[in-house]
Structure 1
Amino acid sequence: MGRSKLEKFSAIAERENVIQDGDELYGQLSGKWKSEFFENNNPIILEVGCGRGEYTVGMARLHQDKNYIGTDIKGARIWKGSSMAVEEELDNVAFLRIFIEQIEEHFAVHEVDEIWITFPDPRPKDRDIKRRLTSPRFLDMYSRIVKPGGIVHLKTDNQGLYDYTLEVLQERNAENLIYTSNLYNSDLQEHTMGIYTTYEKRYLADGIPIKYLQFRVN
């Protein structure tokens, strides 16, 4: 493990905006994020697989009347987003270091208002279907922690993941399903708030269209 990663791990261990295994609050915030962590009653927006946290922080900049939580297992990635939030003095941002499979251990039923999934690993191999963040397994998890009618969003560069997700949602009769295979050549851009991740900019520079869909949790 390189020195840089060790330094990042050490830094996030001291950050108040990062919750991870070993912290006093780890595993203690289910149903209490508003009262015990953010100390307000604002809506909770969750980004699963947040990576560097660029989307989480970007949304928090635009909407300081909402609480944003980015989840990922990679501490070195979370370090970037948590650093940006600290530098910009954003107190409506938190990062939770967990495997996504653990998500129901950390959020109560209907505690979350909205979910974002931005550029997840597409898991293209058939043996990894259950690991796709839009598989029925994960959609069921989201439906339990998101309030009734809450919105879930997906942004991806991957055509296979987009097609798979759309098929799954149509089979499930997802409500208010809207989608496009070319976000920046559609009238759905307003839903993504003009936020671009580093990888997204690279995809666009390479001429890869960005796919987007959203639906309401049944």
Structure 2
Amino acid sequence: MSRKKLIKFASNALADNVLEIGKPLYETIKGKWNERYFLNTNPIVLELACGKGEYSVGLAQVYPDLNFIGIDVKGDRLAAGSQQATLLGLTNVAFLRANIEFLQNFFEEGEVAEIWITFPDPFNLKKRIRRRLTHPHFLEKYRAVMKKEGLLHLKTDNRELFDFTLEELSQFGVRDLEATFDLYQSEMHDDHHGIKTRFEQIFTEKGFPVHYLRGRFL
């Protein structure tokens, strides 16, 4: 393991805004995020596969009356978001090191108000489609922890993943579905406050359009 990764893991171990194996709240936080971590009753918003947490940190700055949790299995990535949030003095954002497969281990039914999926791996190979974060396998997990009419967002540059997701959400019963194949040329542009992940910045600089959708779970 590289020295840089070891430093980042050490940072996570000391950070109050990172929950991971070995920390007391990691095993007991389910259903108690507002009560035991955020100490308020504000709605909870998740960013799944958050990477370095650019979106979680960005949204937390724009919406101080919401609580944000970035989730990723890679601790070295989470360290970047944790450190940035600390630097900015943000108390409404946390990071959870966990596999999204086990989302229901950390959130109670109806505990989550919104979910963001920003530039996920498209898993284009046919045998890996089940690993897409918008596959029904995962949509069931999201519905299990979200409030009624909870809002799901997806941003991606991958048209195949986007078309797949539109079809799956339609069949899944998500309502009020809105979509655009070119976010930055659409009326929904301003809703994103200029926040971009590292991957989004790379893709937009190369001229790729960003696809975006949102819809509510029944």
Partner of residue 101, structure 1:
101
| Structure 2 letter corresponding to 1:114 | E
Partner of residue 56, structure 1:
56
Partner of residue 25, structure 1:
25
- 1:27 & 1:100 partners in 2: Cα distance? 15
> Do residues 156 (structure 1) and 149 (structure 2) align?
no
1:188 Cα deviation from its structure 2 partner: 1.5
- 2:191 & 2:211 partners in 1: Cα distance? 12
1:109 Cα deviation from its structure 2 partner: 0.1
Partner of residue 115, structure 2:
115
Deviations 1:174-203 (A, max 9, x none): 200000111111111133232111211110
| Structure 2 letter corresponding to 1:20 | E
Q: Percent identity?
A: 45
- 2:43 & 2:124 partners in 1: Cα distance? 34
* Equivalent residue pairs, number: 218
- 2:137 & 2:27 partners in 1: Cα distance? 22
- 1:122 & 1:167 partners in 2: Cα distance? 15
1:170 Cα deviation from its structure 2 partner: 1.8
Partner of residue 47, structure 1:
47
Q: Following superposition, which runs of at least 4 residues in structure 1 exceed 2 angstroms of deviation?
A: 190-194
Tell me, yes or no, if the aligned pair for 2:173 and 2:217 is still in contact at 8 Å: no
Helix, strand or coil at the partner of 2:134: coil
For structure 2, the residue ranges without an aligned partner over 5 or more in a row are none
| Structure 1 letter corresponding to 2:210 | I
- 2:33 & 2:72 partners in 1: Cα distance? 17
Say what the alpha-carbon RMSD is for the aligned residues.
0.8
Q: For structure 1, which segment, 183-192 or 55-64, has the greater mean C-alpha deviation from structure 2 after superposition?
A: 183-192
- 2:139 & 2:118 partners in 1: Cα distance? 15
Partner of residue 165, structure 1:
165
- 1:62 & 1:185 partners in 2: Cα distance? 22
**What TM-score does the superposition give when structure 1 sets the normalisation length?**
0.98
Residue pairs, 1:1-218, within 5 angstroms: 1-218=1-218
For structure 1, the residue ranges without an aligned partner over 5 or more in a row are none
- 2:3 & 2:26 partners in 1: Cα distance? 26
- 2:30 & 2:103 partners in 1: Cα distance? 10
- 2:81 & 2:173 partners in 1: Cα distance? 35
- 2:76 & 2:158 partners in 1: Cα distance? 24
Deviations 1:86-142 (A, max 9, x none): 101101110000000011000000000111000011111111111100000111111
- 2:73 & 2:109 partners in 1: Cα distance? 22
| Structure 1 letter corresponding to 2:168 | V
Helix, strand or coil at the partner of 1:25: helix
- 1:182 & 1:208 partners in 2: Cα distance? 9
| Structure 2 letter corresponding to 1:160 | E
| Structure 1 letter corresponding to 2:167 | E
1:71 Cα deviation from its structure 2 partner: 0.3
**What TM-score does the superposition give when structure 2 sets the normalisation length?**
0.98
- 1:108 & 1:66 partners in 2: Cα distance? 18
| Structure 2 letter corresponding to 1:212 | Y
